[in-house]
Amino acid sequence: MATIKDIAQKTNLSSSAVSRILNNDDTLKVPEKTKQLVFEAAKELNYKKKTRQKKDLFPDLIGIVMWTSMEREIEDPYYLAIRQGAEEYCRTHNYPVIRVYEDDINYMENLKNASALICIGKFSQVKLRSLKKITQNLVVIDMDFNPITECHITLDFKNAIREVVQTFHHQGHQKIGYLGGLEYLDHELYQDTRKTYFKRFCEFYHCDYQDYILEDKYSVDSGYQMAVQLIESQKLPTALFCANDLIAIGALKAFSDYHIHVPNDISIIGFDNINLINYTKPPLSSVMAPTLDMGTIGASIVIQSLETKTNPPCLKIQLPCYLINRESIKQLD
C-alpha cells in the first residue's frame, strides 16, 4: 500500500506538506497546481487514506505544554505560532488537545490523561522527568539538547546568524551590536546559541562587537531600554542584530525618539519574522523562523507514535532559517 512518503518522493515535496494537502489543511499556502500534483500522485499510486476504526470512539488525548504564561504568549507571537501549528495538525487528524501553561495551578493534574505531550519552549531536566512519568511519547520544540537525550525540534541558528553577520560585513559594517534576552531554567541561565554564533562569526569576519552586547528580556520594552543604553553610552554601532523581533521593534522606537535614522544611521536585523514587522517604520529585515512547521512536525511525530504504539526516537530535527531583507539595512557609504 502506498504511503505519504511515497507521494512525497514522487512529487519532490515534504511528507508534512503532502499530509496537509491530502487533509485539506487551509493554513498551508501552496499553489493549486501543487495540490493537484499531490492528488494525481495519490491516485496514481493508489493511496488509501487511513481511517479510524469504529471501536476508536475515544481517541488519545494530546497535551500541549507551554513553558510560557498565557500573558507572555499573547505578547510574543513566536510561541503562539508554534502552538497553533501543533494544534491545527492535531485537529485535522481528529485528536483532542488539552493545553496547559507554566503558571497553571493544576499543571500536572490536567495532563494526567494525556497519551502524548508536545512541549513548547525550554524545560529543565526535573520538569522533563515529571512529564515523562505521564507518558514517554513526548517531543520538545524550541530547545536544543547536547548530548541528544530527547526527541526535539530546533532551528539552524548557526547558518542563520552566519548570514546575518555576513550580510552586515559585506555591506561595510565593522561595528556590530547584539541585543538579546535572558532565559532561565531552575534559576540557571539557558545559553542562547544565537549569541554564541554571533560572537563566533563577528570574530571570523574581524568585526568589532565587544562593546555593543546587551541582554535583558525578549520584549519590546527591553529592546527600547537596551537601545537607549547604547545611545546614551555614546558607543553606537553601525549595525545591530536583535535576537527577536520584539526587541528590534523596541529598538526602532528608541532610535526614532532620539532622532537616529534607520537605516541611514544604523542598520537593524531582527529574528522570527513576525507579521507585525511588516508595519514598522521602516519595515524590519528579519530572519524567518518556520514556527508553524515546528508545531506541525512536533504533532506529526507524537501522532505517528500513537498510531504505531511506539515512542518517538531520540533525535534532533533542525529546521532552516533565512534572512528576509526589507528596508532596515543599508550599505555603508
Would you state the cell numbers that stand for residue 1, as one nine-digit string? 500500500
User: How many C-alpha atoms does 106 have within 13 Å on its Cβ side?
Assistant: 6
Beta strands in the chain (DSSP E): 62-66, 97-100, 116-120, 138-141, 152-155, 176-181, 184-185, 188-189, 213-216, 239-242, 267-272, 285-288, 316-319, 322-324
- Of the candidates 81, 85, 62, the one whose C-alpha atom is nearest the C-alpha of residue 73 is 81
Q: Which of 32-46, 86-100, 111-125, 142-156 has the weakest average pLDDT? A: 32-46
Has residue 188 got a pLDDT over 90? no
Strands 285-288 and 322-324, by their bridges, are antiparallel
196 to 70, 158, 161, 167, 192: CA distances (angstroms): 29, 9, 9, 18, 7
Has residue 104 got a pLDDT over 90? no
Can you tell me the mean pLDDT for 82-100?
Answer: 93
What pLDDT, on the 0 to 100 scale, is given for residue 266?
A: 97
What pLDDT, on the 0 to 100 scale, is given for residue 54?
A: 41
7 vs 257 pLDDT, higher one: 257
Would you state the cell numbers that stand for residue 265, as one nine-digit string? 544611521
User: How many C-alpha atoms does 261 have within 13 Å on its Cβ side?
Assistant: 3
Has residue 218 got a pLDDT over 80? yes
250 vs 37 pLDDT, higher one: 250
Hey, is 141 helix, strand or coil?
strand
100 vs 186 pLDDT, higher one: 100
The percent of residues in the chain predicted with pLDDT above 70, rounded, is: 96
Cα distance between residue 212 and residue 239, in whole Å: 10
Q: Which of 51-60, 171-180, 214-223, 247-256 has the weakest average pLDDT? A: 51-60
CB atoms within 10 A of CB 69: 13
**Cβ–Cβ < 8 Å for 55, 28:** no
What pLDDT, on the 0 to 100 scale, is given for residue 191?
A: 86
- Of the candidates 190, 104, 94, the one whose C-alpha atom is nearest the C-alpha of residue 140 is 190
Q: Which of 27-31, 108-112, 124-128, 268-272 has the weakest average pLDDT? A: 27-31
What pLDDT, on the 0 to 100 scale, is given for residue 199?
A: 97
What pLDDT, on the 0 to 100 scale, is given for residue 50?
A: 64
The band of 110, judged by pLDDT with boundaries at 50, 70 and 90, is: confident
Has residue 235 got a pLDDT over 90? no
Residues composing the chain: 333
What pLDDT, on the 0 to 100 scale, is given for residue 286?
A: 97
Can you tell me the mean pLDDT for 275-298?
Answer: 94
Can you tell me the mean pLDDT for 39-49?
Answer: 83
93 vs 32 pLDDT, higher one: 93
The band of 122, judged by pLDDT with boundaries at 50, 70 and 90, is: very high
Has residue 55 got a pLDDT over 50? no
Q: pLDDT, tens digit, for every residue of 265-284?
A: 999 999 999 988 989 999 99
Say what the pTM is: 0.79
**Exposed, middle or buried: residue 184 (CB in 10 Å: 0-12, 13-18, 19+)?**
exposed
The band of 314, judged by pLDDT with boundaries at 50, 70 and 90, is: very high
Has residue 180 got a pLDDT over 70? yes
What pLDDT, on the 0 to 100 scale, is given for residue 329?
A: 95
Strands 116-120 and 138-141, by their bridges, are parallel
Return mean pLDDT, the chain: 91
Cα distance between residue 310 and residue 193, in whole Å: 32
Has residue 22 got a pLDDT over 70? yes
Has residue 76 got a pLDDT over 50? yes
Can you tell me the mean pLDDT for 66-89?
Answer: 89
